[in-house]
Structure 1
């Protein structure tokens, strides 16, 4: 123990030599604190003798030490709780970020959906218009087919009349020829 120092302290009027490697000021401050505690204990319990005062002071110091240990454990427990709370808060922050991302994606999807819905409505409008046009064209085609049928009927009738007229012309031509020959 070459680092051991001899430090003289006074506690409750008694001189002690403390051997150790601790800082001299630290040791003297501890001795002064102990001396102060002994004086406080003696002052508040003036009927006690010196040994009783020292024992009661030691008991008070041990009580304070146990309370500090308990407080330290409570603090450690609170630190665990605090750490858990911080972890939960971080998790909440992450979830909020994810929610924000999902909300943005949802907005984009909703916007795309509305655009597609509008395009679908536009296509439906165009389809209705095309269907109306087709119906009109089909009606026109039916009207034209009827007209063609009528015209075909007229053509047949006219062909018959033409054939009849051609035969009549031929007959008349023959009659004329016969008449010229007779003259």
Structure 2
């Protein structure tokens, strides 16, 4: 929906209904909301905290922690792939050099 007007999408999180405006499709937004709702629900079942606001903040912190850990893994994978690519390019260059000497 890029370039189009944002659509209004209703989602449920923590028993509350929210109306969101998004460029993304409804299915995508609903999937994100379901993920957040599941995290919210699980945390509210595990904790003695009763404040919806505090549970929402703790849920946001938990999701941010997941994001940071995944970003760290992603960055490490990118670094590993780049190093391996450089190594393979060096091997290819050496092999081509040896072939050209023949």
**TM-score class, shorter:** 0.7 to 0.9
User: Larger RCO: Structure 1 or Structure 2 (Cα < 8 Å, ≥ 6 residues apart)?
Assistant: 2
Greater strand share, 1 or 2? 2
Deviation at 1:96, TM superposition (A): 4.5
Greater helix share, 1 or 2? 1
Q: Indicate which of 17, 34, 37 corresponds to 1:35.
A: 37
TM-score norm. by structure 2 comes to 0.82
Partner of 2:49: 48
Partner of 1:8: 10
User: Rg bigger for which structure?
Assistant: 1
Q: Deviations over 1:47-95 (max 9, x none)?
A: 1222222111111111111112222221221121121122122124224
For residues 94 and 61 of structure 1, do their structure 2 counterparts lie closer, same or farther at Cα, with a shift above 3 Å needed? same
Deviation at 1:31, TM superposition (A): 0.4
What residue ranges of structure 1 are gaps of 5+ in the alignment? 102-183
Partner of 1:173: none
TM-score norm. by structure 1 comes to 0.49
What residue ranges of structure 2 are gaps of 5+ in the alignment? none
Q: Deviations over 1:119-148 (max 9, x none)?
A: xxxxxxxxxxxxxxxxxxxxxxxxxxxxxx
